[in-house]
Amino acid sequence: MKIFTITPKSQQQQRTMSAIELLDEEQISLARECFSIYAPTGKLHKDQLLTVLLSLNANPTPQEVEELSQGAEELSLPQFLEVLAKCPGPFQAREDILDAFRAHDKANTGTISHADLKYILSNLGDGLTPQEISDMLAGEADPLDYEDFVDKVLA
């Protein structure tokens, strides 16, 4: 599946472009297909917006979805594409995750122990089960390089 990472050529172009222009043809085609599945009437209800965006590998929070959709109850395809183009993609999620690891990396080594990682993964956010954590850490060095680890998990 195509990952939605948007990189305009320059800040000046970004200011003068419509957000939709930041999407390539393949991304628009995939977004149209997904939109048509969830919105056969041509209008996507706001309750489905987060689900559709996540299925396209965008990583918005519910609050970001509300802000980006400007409170609209339903979105047309062009409105949906505008929202999609403005959503944080996997790259931003990666940076957010790395920032969380860096906050626990007091020695600034770029590594984290399995014990610390197990604590974080089981107690923060939705929390993973011990089995899910064991599966995730199988074969990983201790301590592990958290940047490489995040790249593997997000791949």
**Domain assignments of the chain as residue spans, ordered by start:** 11-86, 90-154
The closest alpha carbon to 91, from 2, 131, 24, 151, belongs to 151
Q: How many other β-carbons are positioned within 10 Å of the β-carbon of residue 53?
A: 24
The CATH fold of domain 11-86: Recoverin; domain 1 (1.10.238)
Q: In the structure, what pLDDT confidence band is assigned to residue 119 with cuts at 50, 70 and 90?
A: confident
Q: Is the pTM of this model over 0.85?
A: no
Q: In the structure, what pLDDT confidence band is assigned to residue 23 with cuts at 50, 70 and 90?
A: confident
Residue ranges of alpha helices (H) inside 39-113 are: 46-55, 62-68, 77-86, 90-104
Give residue-wise pLDDT tens across range 75-117.
999 999 988 888 876 556 677 788 888 888 889 999 999 998 8
Q: In the structure, what pLDDT confidence band is assigned to residue 18 with cuts at 50, 70 and 90?
A: low
90-104 and 146-154 helices, crossing angle to 10°: 150
The CATH fold of domain 90-154: Recoverin; domain 1 (1.10.238)
Q: Which amino acid is at 19?
A: A
Same fold, 11-86 and 90-154: yes
